[in-house]
């Protein structure tokens, strides 16, 4: 495992951090045995930064992390969580949430505490309610060690927030598709130039950049003198930036953990050649041409009042256009959103009533209702019920095989 120093305090942090927003699930809940095994195996391999937040997994992530870091694992890591800024109505709420988080996480302090999901408007709101004074007090009495913020707005507001408080670090979305999106490269360099450590979220764009590449992108990767899987190109691109301190990966599979750890053993800053960087830029341009909407699958848009499974709908729509497998994409769409498997009720795009609630909550500021209308038009035809029946039959066959092999 490689490590980089946090500029203001000298902490040596693993370049790979474990993000606890996309943990493995079973029966609608965190698969605790698998998830604890994954977190602890990563820590045993050198990961020393674990990130969670109040709303992750519907509020279940923080208590899970508290249990995962038992048995001496808490002392091996720097723990990060976040103040749910959108839920703050008055100064006292900040102390209330921090106190609850310390209890949920079974710890007496948070190493890296972030004001969560800021944009310009939300920052103005919590600043007016005393968040700077709260952070000062929490640092002074030891409840938190380092103060930061995560960001989902636009570059001018990012710079304004960086300059508004003596932050220790910040967290931004950054990958080779998002060089000019939100804070982007300019924001990364601005924050680092002010002495802030920079934590990266969404390095794989919600996992999209780790999937087998569409043919047009795969053809670009095939040009490389050194062959690497898509996930390795994406992670190495982020780590190539010396301004980056930690890259968070939302790992939820043992193979993902092993693969990410292997890449983190050798991914040094400045290691990619100019030819490789040019190739990655071309791959990014091709992805942008193929993708219909920049959804990362974060789930902030959920729950939908009309029951639409928004991230699943948008993911299926993107895959339809990236890979061109019309029938396969429609079948997997039905599996994902029909309620036959893994959900208690159907969540088709056609259920959208264009209330706009998802659009207000989306940190990417995506045109979700308008896109759901397109999803319904392209993905829902007169064979939906037939595909549902096929999916149910397949599910029953696999369940029977699983019982037979148990």
Q: What is the DSSP string of 136-158?
A: HHHHHTTSEEEEEEEE-S-HHHH
Contact 305, 269 (CB under 8 A): no
Q: Is residue 190 part of a domain?
A: yes
Q: Is residue 234 part of a domain?
A: yes
Residues 123, 48 within the same domain: yes
C-alpha 40: how far from chain center: 20
Tell me: the pLDDT tens digits for 248-305? 999 999 999 999 999 999 999 999 999 999 999 999 999 989 888 888 888 889 999 9
Q: What is the CA radius of gyration of the chain?
A: 21
For helices 32-44 and 254-264, the axis angle rounded to 10 degrees is 20
Residues 284, 314 within the same domain: no
> Largest Cα–Cα distance in the chain?
63
- Mean predicted confidence (pLDDT) in 68-85: 98
For residue 110, pLDDT beyond 50: yes
Mean pLDDT for the chain overall: 92
Residues 336, 208 within the same domain: no
3-state secondary structure 388-399: HHHHHHHHHHHH
Burial class (CB in 10 A: 0-12, 13-18, 19+), 139: middle
Which of the 8 DSSP states describes residue 52? -
Residues 46, 192 within the same domain: yes
CATH code of 148's domain:
3.20.20.100
Distance CA 137, CA 146 (A): 12
Q: Note down the domain range covering 65.
A: 3-289
- Name the residue among 224, 233, 228, 186 with its Cα closest to residue 205: 233
pTM here?
0.82
């Amino acid at each position: 495992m490689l490590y980089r120093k946090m500029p203001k305090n000298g902490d040596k942090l693993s370049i790979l951090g474990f993000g606890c927003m996309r943990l493995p699930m079973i029966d609608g809940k965190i698969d605790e045995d698998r998830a604890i095994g994954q977190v602890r195996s990563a820590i045993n391999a050198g990961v020393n930064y674990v990130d969670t937040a109040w709303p992750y997994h519907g509020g279940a992530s923080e208590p899970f992390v508290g249990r995962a870091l038992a048995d001496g694992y808490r002392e091996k890591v720097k723990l990060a969580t976040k103040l749910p800024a959108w839920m703050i109505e008055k100064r006292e709420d900040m102390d209330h949430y921090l106190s609850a988080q310390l209890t949920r996480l079974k710890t007496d302090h948070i190493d890296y505490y972030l004001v969560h999901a800021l944009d310009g408007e939300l920052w103005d709101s919590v600043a007016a309610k005393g968040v700077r004074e709260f952070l000062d007090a929490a640092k002074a009495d030891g409840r938190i060690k380092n103060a930061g913020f995560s960001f989902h707005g636009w570059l001018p507001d990012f710079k304004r927030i960086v300059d508004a408080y003596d932050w220790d670090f910040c967290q931004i979305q950054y990958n080779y598709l998002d060089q000019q999106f939100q804070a982007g490269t300019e924001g990364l360099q601005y924050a680092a130039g002010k002495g802030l450590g920079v934590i990266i979220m969404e390095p794989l764009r919600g996992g999209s950049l780790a999937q087998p590449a569409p043919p047009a992108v795969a053809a670009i990767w095939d040009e490389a003198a050194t062959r690497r899987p898509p996930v390795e190109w994406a992670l190495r691109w982020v780590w190539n930036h010396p301004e980056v301190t930690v890259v968070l990966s939302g790992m939820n599979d043992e193979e993902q953990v092993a693969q990410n750890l292997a890449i983190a053993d050798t991914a040094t800053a400045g290691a990619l050649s100019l030819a490789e960087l040019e190739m990655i830029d071309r791959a990014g341009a091709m992805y942008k041409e193929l993708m219909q909407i920049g959804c990362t699958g974060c789930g902030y848009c959920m729950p939908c009042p009309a029951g639409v499974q928004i991230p699943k709908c948008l993911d299926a729509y993107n895959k339809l256009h990236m890979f061109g497998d019309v029938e396969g994409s429609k079948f997997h769409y039905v599996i994902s959103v029909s309620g036959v498997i893994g959900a208690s009720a159907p969540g088709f795009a056609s259920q959208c009533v264009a209330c706009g609630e998802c659009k207000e909550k989306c940190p990417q500021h995506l045109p979700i209702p308008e896109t759901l209308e397109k999803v319904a038009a392209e993905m829902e035809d007169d064979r939906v019920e037939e595909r549902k029946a096929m999916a149910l039959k397949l599910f029953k066959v696999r369940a029977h095989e699983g019982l037979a092999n148990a």
